[in-house]
């Protein structure tokens, strides 16, 4: 066994996953914290323009979520799935709920006040003029995981609004017990793919891995030994940039040839799955050069999202 393989095996040794939460629903402050993280990353990043724009967008999402949580007509009880709807409860909610458009309009109004480039301003004006049916087609592109159906200019606004709606819906499941899913590689709340995974630090969850939902912000436990994409427990590889502090690595699977980023919170507890994924695209380029496929999905990645 090589030194690298030994290190991977060592890393994969987790404490037994008994008596630990299998699921963490998103916090009401998820977008506030994300905005702060984007701001902090933008200060010293070559792509500071886009990260700064996403900081503003996250702040607008926070405002929209606050509005939805205080005005939603659904009670937690109404939002819960009925008997027999045990899998991915958000997929059981009825379509045609235009609450997400309320979120979109709040986000667009907030962004109009911000210092943003003229093309983004034009996109806002165009989205403001669209009716419910036209907008619903755009939401479907997000829920079908086909962001290429949207223009790069409109994608961030639509994705941000659907995220707010999904987080608000996930918050309705506050007290619902969740078990393990058959397909552990997708979110047990909304069935979306993960953006990346985090290794938690401290308390009973120390060194445990949670996958982070790209859409509703929930995090669910999955043992390190398994590949999140194919479920294989075979050989894996760990990659990071030479000289980096090791807070973010990419773990590859030899079985399906994919990789997923891992955020080590003990090295930096302020990291955010969506923001830090976007701020480390050079790691994706390195993995692409190795011939590996991205197993995570990030809706704010403008060249395709997955």
Residue closer to Zn ion, measured from CB, 259 or 264: 259
Residue closer to Zn ion, measured from CB, 123 or 192: 192
Shortest distance, position 231 Cβ to Zn ion, whole Å:
7
Shortest distance, position 232 Cβ to Zn ion, whole Å:
5
With CB under 5 A as the contact rule, the residue among 8, 230, 238, 293 that binds Zn ion is 230
With CB under 5 A as the contact rule, the residue among 232, 233, 240, 306 that binds Zn ion is 232
**Contacts of residue 12, Cβ cutoff 8 Å, sequence gap at least 6:** 224, 225, 236
Paired with 210 in beta bridges are 198, 221
Rounded Cα–Cα distance for residues 208 and 223 (Å) = 7
Specify the residue for token string 């990789």. Answer: 259
Helix axes 48-71, 99-113, angle to 10 degrees: 130
Rounded Cα–Cα distance for residues 153 and 305 (Å) = 13
Q: How far is CA 180 from CA 33, 183, 293, in A?
A: 28, 8, 26
Shortest distance, position 37 Cβ to Zn ion, whole Å:
19
Tokens of 31: 């977008």
Rounded Cα–Cα distance for residues 290 and 279 (Å) = 20
Shortest distance, position 115 Cβ to Zn ion, whole Å:
32
Residue closer to Zn ion, measured from CB, 20 or 256: 256
Residue closer to Zn ion, measured from CB, 58 or 123: 58
Phi then psi for residue 34, to 5 deg, are -65, -40
Residue closer to Zn ion, measured from CB, 41 or 253: 253
DSSP assignment of 223-239: -TTS-TTT---S-EEEE
Shortest distance, position 194 Cβ to Zn ion, whole Å:
9
Shortest distance, position 183 Cβ to Zn ion, whole Å:
13
CB 300 within 8 A of CB 55: no
Binders in 236-295 for Zn ion, by CB under 5 A: 253, 255-256
Task: Say how many residues touch Zn ion, by CB under 5 A.
Answer: 14
Binders in 161-200 for Zn ion, by CB under 5 A: 187, 189-190, 192
Per CB under 5 A, which region of 1-9, 49-57, 69-77, 208-216 contacts Zn ion? 208-216
CB 35 within 8 A of CB 55: yes
Rounded Cα–Cα distance for residues 4 and 289 (Å) = 20
Helices (H) and strands (E) in the chain, counts: 10, 8
Per CB under 5 A, which region of 60-68, 98-106, 200-208, 212-220 contacts Zn ion? 212-220
Shortest distance, position 102 Cβ to Zn ion, whole Å:
20
Residue closer to Zn ion, measured from CB, 190 or 198: 190
Residue closer to Zn ion, measured from CB, 52 or 188: 188
Residue closer to Zn ion, measured from CB, 69 or 232: 232
With CB under 5 A as the contact rule, the residue among 108, 213, 248, 274 that binds Zn ion is 213
CB 197 within 8 A of CB 261: yes
Rounded Cα–Cα distance for residues 132 and 304 (Å) = 25
Residue 216 makes contact with Zn ion by CB under 5 A: yes
Shortest distance, position 235 Cβ to Zn ion, whole Å:
10
By the criterion CB under 5 A, which residues form the site for Zn ion? 187, 189-190, 192, 213, 216, 218, 227, 229-230, 232, 253, 255-256
């Amino acid at each position: 066994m090589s030194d690298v393989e030994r290190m991977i095996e060592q890393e994969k040794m987790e404490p037994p996953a008994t008596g630990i939460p299998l699921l963490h629903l998103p916090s009401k402050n998820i977008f506030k914290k994300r905005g702060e993280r984007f701001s902090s990353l933008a200060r010293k990043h070559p792509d500071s323009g886009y990260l700064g724009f996403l900081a503003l967008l996250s702040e607008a999402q926070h405002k929209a979520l606050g509005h939805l949580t205080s005005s939603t007509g659904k009670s937690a009880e109404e939002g819960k799935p009925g008997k027999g709807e045990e899998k991915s409860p958000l997929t059981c909610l009825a379509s045609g709920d235009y609450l997400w458009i309320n979120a979109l309009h709040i986000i667009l109004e907030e962004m109009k006040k911000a210092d943003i480039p003229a093309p983004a301003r034009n996109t806002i004006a165009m989205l403001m003029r669209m009716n419910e049916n036209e907008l619903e087609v755009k939401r479907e592109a997000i829920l079908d995981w086909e962001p290429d159906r949207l223009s790069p200019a409109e994608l961030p606004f639509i994705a941000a609004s659907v995220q707010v709606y999904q987080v608000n819906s996930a918050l309705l499941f506050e007290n619902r017990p969740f078990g393990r899913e058959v397909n552990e590689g997708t979110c047990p709340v909304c069935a979306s793919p993960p953006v990346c995974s985090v290794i938690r630090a401290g308390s009973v969850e120390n060194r445990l891995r949670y996958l982070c939902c790209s859409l509703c912000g929930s995090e669910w436990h999955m043992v390190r030994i398994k590949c999140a994409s194919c479920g294989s427990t075979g050989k894996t590889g760990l990659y990071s940039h030479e000289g980096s502090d090791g807070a973010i690595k990419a773990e590859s699977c030899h079985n399906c040839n994919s990789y997923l980023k891992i955020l080590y919170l003990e090295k930096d507890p302020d990291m955010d799955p969506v923001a830090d994924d976007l701020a480390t695209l050079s790691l994706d380029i390195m993995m692409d050069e190795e011939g590996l496929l991205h197993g995570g999905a990030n809706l704010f990645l403008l060249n395709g999202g997955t």
